[in-house]
Amino acid sequence: MEQEPVPGVRNLHPAYCSLLVKFEAFEWRHEELERQLRKYIGRLSKVKLAEPRLMEIPVCYGGEFGPDLGEVAAMHGLTPNRVIELHASATYLVYFLGFVPGFAYLGELPAELVTPRLLSPRRKVPAGSVGIAGNQTGVYPFETPGGWRLLGRSPLEMFRTNRDGLSLLSIGDRVRFVPVSRERFAELRPA
């Protein structure tokens, strides 16, 4: 739909297994647009997608940056180092961006790390925090409330207004997390 836009469609919200289509009610009746969109679905297999990019995201794990690392390790009977190793071992797919600008939903976590979200969300999660929830992982682009369990923090800006494409990650990207030291974190942090 980005390649062949439908007139009167004003916004798209892709997610794991759905696409929310926001349309102009003056131009379309619900059922008319649905008919049109079903034609697109019929051609899904013929759509050429861009080659996926492999993006590396440095993360400083544990300590004040990853306040839930110890608890997650304890919940699974693992050492914190093993949790880091597992989290950094997988190549994740960017399923979609949602919640706030530039928040990429990444999956899937190694089975050993699948962990429910916090019972009560934090009021403030610092920007750059790397969290896990269920079989997903992600990086908070802004300081926001959040219920994911925090393992570490990335020095990268996930969303900024002066970058081409704005968001560091796009749908379809492959992502790996690379453990870095506190010193390296400080060096990589934008001034």
Q: Which residues bind another protein (CB under 8 A)?
A: 2, 10-20, 22, 25-26, 29-30, 96-103, 105, 141-142, 144, 159, 161, 166-167, 171
d(CA 94, CA 96): 6
CB atoms within 10 A of CB 123: 8
Name the residue nearer to another protein (CB basis): 30 or 48. 30
Work out how close the CB of 54 gets to another protein at its nearest, in angstroms, rounded to a whole number. 20
What's the rounded Cα separation, in Å, for the pair 98 and 105? 7
Closest distance to another protein from the beta carbon of 141 (Å): 7
What is the rounded CA–CA span in Å between residue 78 and residue 154? 23
Least separation in angstroms between CB 57 and another protein: 17
Q: What is the smallest separation between the CB atom of 181 and another protein, expressed in angstroms?
A: 29
| Cβ distance to another protein smaller for residue 142 or 179 | 142
| Structural element, H or E, at residue 89 | helix 80-89
Looking at the Cβ atoms of 117 and 174, the one nearer to another protein is 117
Name the minimum Å distance from CB 30 to another protein.
5
Distance CA 104, CA 107 (A): 10
> Which residue's CB is nearer to another protein, number 57 or number 97?
97
Q: Measured on CA atoms in the order 140, 67, 70, 115, is the torsion positive or negative? A: negative
If the CB atoms of residues 18 and 45 are measured against another protein, the closer one turns out to be 18
Strand duo 174-179 + 54-61: pairing: parallel
